[in-house]
A = this chain, B = another copy of it.
Amino acid sequence: MKKVSSLTELGFADDVHRALFRPIQQAAPPSPTKRHTKISVIGAGNVGMAIAQTILTQDLTDELALVDAKPDKLRGEMLDLQHAAAFLPRTRILASPDYAVTVDSDICIITAGARQIPGETRLNLLQRNLSLFKEIVPPLARYSPGALLLVVSNPVDVLTYIAWKLSGFPPNRVIGSGTNLDSSRFRFLLADHLEVNAQDVQAYMVGEHGDSSVALWSSISVGGVPILSQFTKDVAAIEQGVLERIRKAVVDSAYEVIRLKGYTSWAIGYSVASLARSLLRDQHRIHPVSLLANGFYGIPDDREVFLSLPAQLGRSGILSVANIQLTEEEAGRLRRSADALWDLQQKLGL
């Protein structure tokens, strides 16, 4: 088989390998069933590339495939990663505008999405993204019928629902990045103030990713110590307003980064790489991610909506949803999110 390599095109002999290395006697050929982990990232923009590069640096996969509609940009990004070969473990990096390059992926991460035009309604943006996902999701599902789909594009909850419908996959294999990053921003603010490590802060934001996310104050603990009770034990009464201002600060922090640098990339890169690791390595870790939420916390069984709840993730996707105690108000907010998302989905004509 003619070797495909740019050195061959330059006249470098094809058989130098044989002159340098010899196999042992009676070696069997490689088994066709040996697993080679593969992650595909759809969309080579700022978010897609931050995710791809973090996955590469953290050595999470044997093969990384990139897909984008812009072939030059895509090829440039692929080369820029390949050129770091001397500094990284050997990961095979592929790129093509053709979805065939994603064949046999363990995880497909979708970051492609239309950006909101100023003044555009949310429904209109969603219609445009629905058209885009109709081009993206069916080929992904066809080339990797057993893959886990991880949706990052916004608005993530509805787009994850759309990806689920278009793929025909069982719902445990279709996940949205949801409030995984919001929760990290929440934990960062708390940890920074308390001078603890963010990894010792357990604090979930759940529900819809965005303005109406729900901060689960009652379930926040630091080093195992629930802190809401510390509030109420305190002499000074804590106004409900303070908690809501903190939640808003978390939601605003994304807009703040966009206002300052034009987009966000690094944090979502780490967030998604963290999800990819938990899934691929069957970690059984709990992450707040967007999943099919009907039947939980009073959301009616017939309301097929995706929103974020703390879930155990592993090799087969969503293993379970953690049975976290919600206050009545928190559960009420979740149900209201579910209603709003359901109404929006009805208008899509999917």
- A residues apposed to B, CB below 8 Å: 3, 5-8, 10-13, 16-17, 19-21, 49-50, 53-54, 57-58, 72-73, 75-77, 79-88, 90, 181, 183-185, 187-199, 201, 222-223, 225, 227, 230-231, 233-234, 236-242, 245-246, 249, 253, 256-262, 264-267, 269-271, 273-274
One of B10, B181, B198 near A249 (C-beta < 8 A)? B10
CA distance A240 to B18 in the complex (A): 22
Q: Is B17's CB under 8 angstroms from A267's CB?
A: no
A231-B16 contact, Cβ under 8 Å, with A57-B57, A81-B267, A236-B11: yes
Q: Is A79's CB under 8 angstroms from B12's CB?
A: no
CA distance A7 to B245 in the complex (A): 9
CA distance A238 to B15 in the complex (A): 13
Q: Is B227's CB under 8 angstroms from A266's CB?
A: no
By CB atoms of chain B within 10 A, which of A11, A86, A227 has the most?
A86
With a cutoff of 8 Å between Cβ atoms, the chain B residues found around residue A85 in the complex are: 184, 187-188, 191-192, 198
**In whole Å, how far is A248's beta carbon from the nearest beta carbon of chain B?**
9
Q: Is A231's CB under 8 angstroms from B13's CB?
A: yes
Q: Is B20's CB under 8 angstroms from A76's CB?
A: no
Interface of A is mostly: helix
Number of chain copies forming the complex: 2
Q: Is B57's CB under 8 angstroms from A267's CB?
A: no
A233-B19 contact, Cβ under 8 Å, with A80-B257, A85-B187, A260-B79: yes
Q: Is A76's CB under 8 angstroms from B257's CB?
A: yes
With a cutoff of 8 Å between Cβ atoms, the chain B residues found around residue A19 in the complex are: 230, 233-234
Q: Is A76's CB under 8 angstroms from B10's CB?
A: no
One of B10, B53, B76, B190 near A7 (C-beta < 8 A)? B190
CA distance A194 to B12 in the complex (A): 10
- The 6 A-B pairs of least Cβ separation, nearest first, read A76-B260, A76-B261, A86-B184, A83-B267, A85-B188, A85-B198
One of B21, B197, B241 near A90 (C-beta < 8 A)? B197
One of B6, B57, B193, B269 near A3 (C-beta < 8 A)? B193
One of B84, B239, B240 near A266 (C-beta < 8 A)? B84
A267-B80 contact, Cβ under 8 Å, with A13-B231, A17-B195: yes
With a cutoff of 8 Å between Cβ atoms, the chain B residues found around residue A223 in the complex are: 20-21
By CB atoms of chain B within 10 A, which of A5, A181, A239, A266 has the most?
A266
A72-B260 contact, Cβ under 8 Å, with A86-B183, A187-B86: yes
